[in-house]
Structures are given as structure tokens and as C-alpha cells.
Amino acid sequence: MKGGWLAWASLLAACGPGVAESNGEVSANQIERLSTPKTEERDPLASARLEPIAAEEAAREGLAGAGCAFTRDGRLLLAVVASDAIVRVEGEIRHLVHSGPVGPTGGFFEERQLSVSVGRADENGVGEDDAVDEGRGGPARITVTNRRTDARHELAGVWTCGG
């Protein structure tokens, strides 16, 4: 029995003088350390949601001038030239390659993580408009898919090519 008390005494001594009896009270520091960490609610579509690109950014990335563009409410969301395309997702400019024909009726673009398709739509938003002028914009739909997160986001806007 003497050895048992000695073990307890040495264990308590190892705790040092900083340990005080709490009488059942808990400090704010203890509550913070033991509480469940806060989880921020993340937008499940954020990894596929397009953000506006400033004209200066498009120029800096080499995508100023004639080409194609997808806009919504006057804001540029996709800029395309002969061999390159850019979008902004989660605050980052992403360069996409053409993965199919690009023209007045739409196009397909991709990179390692994102896939983007744009297609012209008739005035009701359904189907391709056969009477498309090269330099005229018209209603279109864009679909962005993030292959890593399986997020998919669609928007209606305006697709313009040429001029």
C-alpha cells in the first residue's frame, strides 16, 4: 500500500505547481480547446462557378482583341482567342485549351480540372440558332464542370464571336 501512495504522490508532483484544483469550474481557455471546431459552410458549386474577368486581366493574359467571349450582365466570364481561353474560378485565372471546334455557335474548352462548354440558344433558351452572324452576339448557355469535385454550374448569357 505504501508503494501505491508513493506512486500517486510522484504522479501529482509531476503535474507541477501550475495545476490548481478547479472545484468544478472551467476556464474559457479550456472551453475553447475542447469545443468542436467551427466548420465554415462551403459553397458546393464554388469550384465550378465562373467569376468576372476584368478587361485589363484578359489583355495581360494575351486574350485581348478579336475572338469569342461569354458575358452575363455585361461582365466577361470566358475570353477566347485562336489557341487559348481563360476563365476565373475561385479567384484564380485558369487557362483552357480548345477541345472541340470553336465558333459562332459555341465551343468546348478544358484543362486538367475544369471542362467548359458554351452553346448558342434560340430566344427561348433552347436549341441552336441557325441564323447566327459571325460578328453578332446572341443568347447562349455555358456549363462548367469541375471533374475533381463533381460540381457543375450552368448560366445563361451572351456568346459573341468575331469583330
Residues near 120 by Cβ (< 8 Å), separated by ≥ 6?
Answer: 104, 105, 106, 128, 129, 132, 138, 139, 140, 159
* Predicted local confidence at residue 21, as pLDDT: 55
Average pLDDT value for residue range 23-44? 69
Confidence of residue 92 (pLDDT cuts 50, 70, 90): very high
User: Would you state the cell numbers that stand for residue 38, as one nine-digit string?
Assistant: 467551427
Whether 105 shows a pLDDT value over 90: the answer reads yes
Average pLDDT value for residue range 55-69? 87
* Predicted local confidence at residue 29, as pLDDT: 72
CA 127/CA 101 separation, integer angstroms: 18
pTM, to two decimals: 0.68
Confidence of residue 33 (pLDDT cuts 50, 70, 90): low
CB atoms within 10 A of CB 128: 12
* Predicted local confidence at residue 117, as pLDDT: 97
| Grid-cell match 466577361, residue found | 76
Residues 137, 125, 153: CA angle, nearest 5 degrees: 90
Q: For the chain, what is the mean pLDDT?
A: 80
* Alpha helices per DSSP H over 19-66: 28-34, 55-60
* Greatest mean pLDDT range, 3-7, 81-85, 103-107: 103-107
CB atoms within 10 A of CB 127: 10
Whether 39 shows a pLDDT value over 90: the answer reads no
Per domain, the residue ranges of the chain are 2-34, 46-161
